[in-house]
Amino acid sequence: MLLSHVFDILGIALVLATLPLLAELLVLTAASLVPGARARKQDGGVEGFPLTVVVPAHNEEALVGRCIRSLASSAGPGADLVVIAHNCTDATAAEAEAAGAKVLVLNDGDRKGKGSALSYGFSAALAGPSRAVLVIDADSVVSPGLIAAVRQRFLAGAQAVQCRYEVYNFEENSRTRLMTLALRGFNVVRPRGRERLGLSAGILGNGFALHRDVLTRVPYGAYSVVEDLEYHLALVRAGIRMEFVDTATVSGEMPRSDHGARTQRARWEGGRRRMMRRWAPRLMGDLLRGRARVIEPLLDLLSAPIATEAFLLLLATCLPVAWLRFYALGTILVLAFHVTAAAACGSGFWAMIRVLGTAPAYIFWKMWILPEVWRASRADSAWVRTARETSGDGQ
């Protein structure tokens, strides 16, 4: 009898740990399948809308030139391309300038991390005539019509937008292919579902744009290792919604090596845990005061990574608790529904499905690096740049 109660308590703990992501995936994946409204059109060209593209770059000499050339082909008149060469010890500034960008050098050992570079770039942009600022990572390329699509959305009344964010080197190896599938879920299916429901799509760290009125109303002050999540939560609390631009794509490089992937995952997931500890109480307080708009961001903040969720669900099926097994199997079906939707929202559907064969090894790897994630979640954790692996025109 005592052992049965222990198993029930463990089951309740597993449900509480997995329920936020279950709710997120079920609702947002279903909503993503609903046809969207037609994009709003404005008469006249978009070139008259002054916009600054800010490219934060720390030791990106191998990739920044490709990024600027991609942006230049998409820019058109009235768009300024500005690279923030942030604490660089290589030829990033020279490569960016040669490609046609304006370069602002920020050398300050006390100002580390992407948030510091963005703050510097936003201040520079707001000092000029630009009505909006678009952020593109230095390892990225953009679709030809991206800047026009962003301008069009602002002219139609948007305050802030997030473009579709995909993986550039998705065919590199099994790791980048699996990451492509995972990011299609996180960066496409979920934002698309939020857009369909009229919720804030989120900031994904790359390919997002903010109107100058937003930056004036909510001054940028996000300096954590997950500055995108931190600033988005501030915008949600201020009642500002990120709109999702599904027709414009920015594609960024993903790490090829185990070391680069470990660094990136530990930083992202550790940073999210830190944000959960800091922001969840605030959002719960907002919810208790009747601010319903924070429900979805709160669920997102409390959600476990999908690999962790899958591990916990497999653990749940091993416990001798009938109701818990039914819950776990139902949740696994929701995960399958989400993954299938992610595979279907881009090219190579069957290749994406086949790559799931590597998922068990990936889940084991994610559990293996949990100590690094916990260390990265500490308040005193230092910012660590993801290692770059240069190969030809790539990283």
194-221 residue pLDDT tens: 999 999 999 999 999 999 999 999 999 9
- The mean pLDDT value for 334-357 works out to 92
pLDDT tens digits for range 296-313: 999 999 999 999 999 999
Both tokens of 154, joined, read 């602002």
Same domain, 30 and 55: no
Same domain, 59 and 30: no
Question: Does residue 383 lie in a domain region?
Answer: no
Given pLDDT bands bounded at 50, 70 and 90, which one contains residue 395? very low
Same domain, 177 and 74: yes
**In this predicted structure, what is the pLDDT of residue 40?**
60
pLDDT over 60 (residue 380): no
> Hey, which bits of 32-156 come out as E strands?
51-57, 79-86, 102-106, 132-135, 140-142
Q: Any idea what the CATH number is for the domain that residue 235 is in?
A: 3.90.550.10
Q: How far apart are CA 183 and CA 110, in angstroms?
A: 32
**In this predicted structure, what is the pLDDT of residue 386?**
58
Q: How far apart are CA 165 and CA 300, in angstroms?
A: 18
Residue from 156, 170, 161, 135 nearest 55 by CA: 135
Question: Does residue 351 lie in a domain region?
Answer: yes
For the chain, the maximum distance between any two Cα atoms, rounded to a whole number of angstroms, is 74
Phi, psi of 341, rounded to the nearest 5 degrees? -65, -40
Domain end, chosen from 268, 286, 315, is at 268
Expressed as residue numbers, the domain containing 351 is: 2-34+304-376
Question: Does residue 156 lie in a domain region?
Answer: yes
**In this predicted structure, what is the pLDDT of residue 42?**
53
Angle value at C-alpha 336, between 334 and 341, nearest 5 degrees: 95
Q: How far apart are CA 232 and CA 249, in angstroms?
A: 20
Question: Does residue 139 lie in a domain region?
Answer: yes
Residue 237 near residue 125 (C-beta atoms within 8 A): no
Domain end, chosen from 246, 268, 290, is at 268
Both tokens of 394, joined, read 């790539």
Question: Does residue 390 lie in a domain region?
Answer: no
Same domain, 227 and 330: no
pLDDT tens digits for range 217-227: 999 999 988 99
**In this predicted structure, what is the pLDDT of residue 392?**
37
Q: What stretches of 160-294 show up as alpha helix (H) in DSSP?
A: 174-184, 190-196, 212-217, 227-237, 258-288
Q: What is the count of structural domains for the chain?
A: 2
Same domain, 242 and 324: no
Q: Which residues contact 258 (CB under 8 A, 6 or more apart)?
A: none
**Total-model pTM:** 0.90
**In this predicted structure, what is the pLDDT of residue 287?**
95
- Top pLDDT among 372 and 131 is at 131
**In this predicted structure, what is the pLDDT of residue 45?**
64
Same domain, 60 and 106: yes
Phi, psi of 84, rounded to the nearest 5 degrees? -95, 100
Same domain, 162 and 74: yes
Question: Does residue 163 lie in a domain region?
Answer: yes
Given pLDDT bands bounded at 50, 70 and 90, which one contains residue 385? low
Q: How far apart are CA 350 and CA 239, in angstroms?
A: 40
